[in-house]
Amino acid sequence: MTFNPARFITTSDGAAQLDPSKIVFGYGRRVCPGAHLAEVSMFLNVVGILATFDISKALDEQGKEVEPLVEYTNGITR
C-alpha cells in the first residue's frame, strides 16, 4: 500500500513485479482491441483535469491549510 516504483526493477533480491497495465487488457489472441483507446482516453481526461483545475488543500479563515479527515466506512461503495 505504499508508492514504490523500484518494485518494477529487477534486483539481486528478486525479480521485478509484473506491470499491471500489461496484464489488465489480456494478451495473445484474446487481447482487448480497445486497450490503446482506453489508455489514451484516461490520459487525456487526467491531463485535462490537471490543466483546468488548481488542486490543493482547502484554506480556513486564517489562510492555513485544512487537513482532510480520512474515515473509512463499511458499505457497497466507499
Domain range enclosing 24:
7-78
Q: Is residue 2 part of a domain?
A: no
Asked whether residue 31 is domain-assigned, the answer is yes
For the chain, the domain total comes to: 1
User: Is residue 22 a part of any domain in this protein?
Assistant: yes
pTM recorded for the entire structure:
0.55
Distance, in Å, from the CA atom of 17 to the CA atom of 15, rounded to the nearest integer, reads 7
CA gap 37, 45 in Å, rounded:
12
Q: Do the domain assignments include residue 1?
A: no
Q: What is the pLDDT of residue 77?
A: 67
- CB count within 10 Å of CB 12 equals 4
C-alpha cell at 35: 486497450
pLDDT in tens, 24-63: 888 888 889 998 999 999 999 999 999 999 888 889 999 9
Q: Which residues contact 72 (CB under 8 A, 6 or more apart)?
A: 78
Does 36 reside within a domain?
Answer: yes
